[in-house]
Amino acid sequence: MSDAVAQSPLTIACAQMRPEIGLKHENVEKSLRMIRRAHSLGAQLVVLPELCNSGYVFASRSEAFALAETMEGETVLAWLDIAKELGVTLVAGFAEREGDRLYNSAVLVGPGGIIGRYRKLHLWGEESLFFERGNLQVPVFATPFGRIACAICYDMWFPEVFRLAALQGADILCVPTNWVPMKNQPRELPAMANILAMAGAHSNSMFVAAADRVGEERGQPFLGCSIIVDCHGWPVAGPAGAVDEEIIVAQVNLSDARKARQLNAYNQLLRDRRTDLYQEMLGTSMLRGPG
Indicate which residues carry an active-site annotation: 50, 120, 153
Q: Between residues 46 and 197, which has the closer beta carbon with respect to a second copy?
A: 197
Residues with Cβ within 8 Å of residue 150, at least 6 apart in sequence: 91, 106, 108, 118, 139, 173, 174, 175, 176
CB of 70 to a second copy, least distance (A): 23
As to burial, measured by CB atoms within 10 angstroms (0-12 exposed, 13-18 middle, 19+ buried), residue 34 is buried
Q: Between residues 34 and 123, which has the closer beta carbon with respect to a second copy?
A: 123
CB of 33 to a second copy, least distance (A): 33
Q: Between residues 56 and 79, which has the closer beta carbon with respect to a second copy?
A: 56
CB of 145 to a second copy, least distance (A): 16
Q: Determine the Cα–Cα distance for residues 243 and 3; give it in Å rounded to an integer.
A: 46
- Kindly tell me the sign of the dihedral angle through the C-alpha atoms of 17, 22, 25, 28: positive
Q: Determine the Cα–Cα distance for residues 99 and 217; give it in Å rounded to an integer.
A: 28
Give the footprint of a second copy on this chain (CB under 8 A): 121-126, 128, 133, 137-138, 154, 157-160, 162-164, 166-169, 182, 184, 186, 189-190, 192, 195-196, 198-200, 202-203, 232-235, 258, 261, 264-275, 277-285, 287-291
CB of 243 to a second copy, least distance (A): 22
- Kindly tell me the sign of the dihedral angle through the C-alpha atoms of 57, 45, 248, 270: positive
Q: Determine the Cα–Cα distance for residues 93 and 175; give it in Å rounded to an integer.
A: 9
**155 touches 127 (CB < 8 A):** no
Q: Between residues 70 and 279, which has the closer beta carbon with respect to a second copy?
A: 279
